[in-house]
Structure 1
Amino acid sequence: MSGEAFPEGLNPLERFGREVREVRKGRKITQRQLGKAVQYSDGYVSKVEAGTLMPSEKFARGCDLAFGTHGLFLRLLRRVEEGDHPSWFLPYLELERKAASILDFSTTSIMGMLQTEDYARAVFRAGHPREAADLITGRVAARVRRRQILEQEDPPTLWVVLHESCLRTLVGGRSVMADQLEHLLHMSETPGVDIQVIPFAAGAAGSHTLAFTLLAFADESTALYVDDVPHGGRLYRSESSVRIALENYDRLRAHALPPDDSRALITSVHKEFRP
């Protein structure tokens, strides 16, 4: 890192940008030259250096290659990302980045990776009513950034089973819900993404099961994440826990509507929220 003493009060994103600027200047590289090296515009570089744009992983890796910093900027980017997540959630995030497939079951709210910005803000504000606005903004940005996993060159497959309660629980108001369901419909058309809904008519099948996520990896191992404690979730890697969760997931899928029928239900509820 540079030897300059940075002003106090810089947030992690601003510190990242300051480091890029100082190392770039130290190497006597212009913003345009750096942009060309990392395959981004000089305007993109400028916004990152100003701390107003969240850099991509590709940008951080490109900086390490251009500067010869051996992973420094990728590590700094991880710190930026981790700064807006609770510590107990970080092990899950690290595994999520490496997963070949993600299986999620949601009970009352839509999974974080599929949330719109306004929906996520409403969720965080409801869960942290006394938290400062800038902290909420940071949490929202961190959640929305998780979508980048699905935008990478070789994204994991994503299979989401959600209870109809997720569609009908009014989070943030009717307009926010309409936009959120529209985003779900868009994601349901994305290759490698499957979305199924368990309707109220299925009875107790999905209404008394805790939300959980299964992460499967290229080495054929699987991890289980469960939201089962008041102040955070837990990761399980034991074969027995994973096996039971996989069996439960198959059962939930069996009680859910097929993808096309699920899309029709989401479309119907979406119309109810539109003015």
Structure 2
Amino acid sequence: MDETTPPEHLNPLQRFGRDIKQVRLARKLTQKHLGKATGYSEGYVSKVESGTLLPRPSEKFAKGCDLTFGTAELFAGLLRRIEEGDHPSWFVPYLNLERKASRILDYSTNIVKGILQTEGYARALFEAYFSREEVEVIESKVAARLRRHAVFELATPPFLWTIVHEACLRTVVGGAEVMAGQLEFLLTAAASPNIKLQVMPFSAGAPAASTRPFTVLRFTNARTVLYTETRVGGRMYDSEQTVDAALDDYDLLRAHALSPDQSVTLIKALLKEYRA
């Protein structure tokens, strides 16, 4: 990032980095000092200030800067607004709840859930959905999607139980190489103690296959929310009757799906096909 670049020509992360640098210099701190104060390396601070740290600076770093600079929640708030700005407005409420959930139950019918997408897979989807957008817009959306992985890096990450329909694994998004990378990522995810993955096979038949995709978020305060999505937006429900019906559906889906071990075996077999 050139120091003479006008602010209006900077992307949100570059503006965030420039603001960090300006306040740091005003406080007469070096990058090394700021890194030590926030618990990060000098190189990390340098990348933040240049706007080249991907997918984005951490919330911990932003809060550390606020504490060091005495700026209340200025930079933590800026970071949250950057995050929200890269997502549709109707999706932001769900995104905020996803970060706070203790348990996530998801059923995906034709596309791998966003929180489990690889960079190549996400980019191929956005290039298809937003074919008329500039490259910078696409890349910003890709970065925002990858940032959702950070939920698993929290001190107390949510437990994700995901049921992926076989159609998600066989629908070729971005070509064989992209799909191979996506399946490898799913295998890695399935090995995590915080993630349980099952595949709903085509052989399960129409009753299970006809269920629409949905996500249930559970919280430590016993609150439970159902989230559904269409092409034009998403919607959340918290009525007891609606949520209970969704949980009943999820139990049925788990019963029809392959076991976690069988699911891994199927994914490995499909991975060989894509590699071939």
Q: Smaller-chain TM-score range?
A: over 0.9
Checking the alignment, whether the CA contact within 8 Å between 2:121 and 2:174 is kept in structure 1 is yes
Q: Is the 8 A contact 2:7 2:15 kept in 1?
A: no
Distance 2:16 2:256 in 1: 47
Tell me the CA shift for residue 264 of structure 1.
0.6
Secondary structure of the structure 2 residue equivalent to 1:146: helix
Consecutive unaligned residues of structure 2, counting only runs of 5 or more, are: 1-5
- Contact 1:12–1:83, Cα closer than 8 Å, also in 2: no
Contact 2:122 2:145 in 1 (8 A): yes
Deviations 1:161-196 (A, max 9, x none): 011001110110001101100110011001110000
Residue 198 of structure 1 deviates from its aligned partner by 0.7
Structure 1 position 230, deviation (Å): 2.9
8 Å CA contact retained: 1:205, 1:252: no
Please give the residue correspondences for 1:1-150 in structure 2 after superposition, counting only pairs within 5 Å: 7-53=7-53, 54-150=56-152
Q: Which amino acid aligns with 1:240?
A: Q
Q: What displacement does 1:140 show?
A: 0.5
Which residue of the partner structure matches residue 259 of structure 2?
Answer: 258
Query: Are 2:173 and 2:179, in contact at CA under 8 Å, matched by a contact in 1?
Result: yes
Kindly indicate whether the alpha-carbon contact (under 8 Å) linking 1:35 and 1:42 is maintained by their aligned counterparts in 2: yes
Partner residue in 1 for 2:196 = 194
* Equivalent AA in structure 1 for residue 109 of structure 2: T
Aligned-residue offset at 1:204: 1.0
Paired letter, 1:103: L
SS in 1 for 2:225: strand
Structure 2 residue matching 1:104: 3-state secondary structure: strand
How far is 1:20 from its partner?
0.7
Q: Who is 1:181 aligned against?
A: 183
Moved more, 68-77 or 187-196: 68-77
CA distance, structure 2, for counterparts of residue 133 and residue 24 of structure 1: 32
**TM-score, normalized by length of structure 2?**
0.95
- Whether the 8 Å contact between 1:205 and 1:255 is mirrored in structure 2 is no
Tell me how far apart the structure 2 counterparts of residues 20 and 63 of structure 1 sit (CA, whole Å): 8
- Separation in 1, partners of 2:151, 2:263: 24
Instruction: Tell me which stretches of 4 or more aligned residues in structure 1 moved more than 3 Å.
Output: none
Q: Distance in 1 between matches of 2:208 and 2:40?
A: 45
Is the Cα–Cα contact under 8 Å of residues 108 and 168 in structure 2 kept in the other structure?
yes
Residues 32-72 of structure 1, C-alpha deviations (whole Å, 9 max, x = no match): 00000111111110111111112011111111121122211
Long gaps (5+) in structure 1: 1-5
TM-aligned CA deviation for residue 137 of structure 1: 0.5
Given residue 110 of structure 1, which amino acid in structure 2 is its aligned partner? V
| Equivalent residue number for residue 242 of structure 1 | 243
Residue-pair matches, total: 269
Q: State the distance in 2 between where 1:251 and 1:211 align.
A: 14
- Separation in 2, partners of 1:205, 1:151: 36
The two structures, once aligned, show a CA RMSD in angstroms of 1.1
Amino acid corresponding to residue 210 of structure 1 in structure 2: R
Secondary structure of the corresponding residue to residue 86 of structure 1? coil
Q: Secondary structure of 1:8's partner? A: helix
2:210 corresponds to: 208
Letter of the structure 2 residue corresponding to residue 247 of structure 1: D
Deviations 1:61-110 (A, max 9, x none): 11112112221111110111112111110000010111111111000010
Aligned to 2:168: 166
CA distance in 1, matches of 2:123, 2:106: 21
Comparing 240-249 with 204-213, which one deviates more in the overlay? 204-213
* Letter in structure 2 aligned against 1:257: L
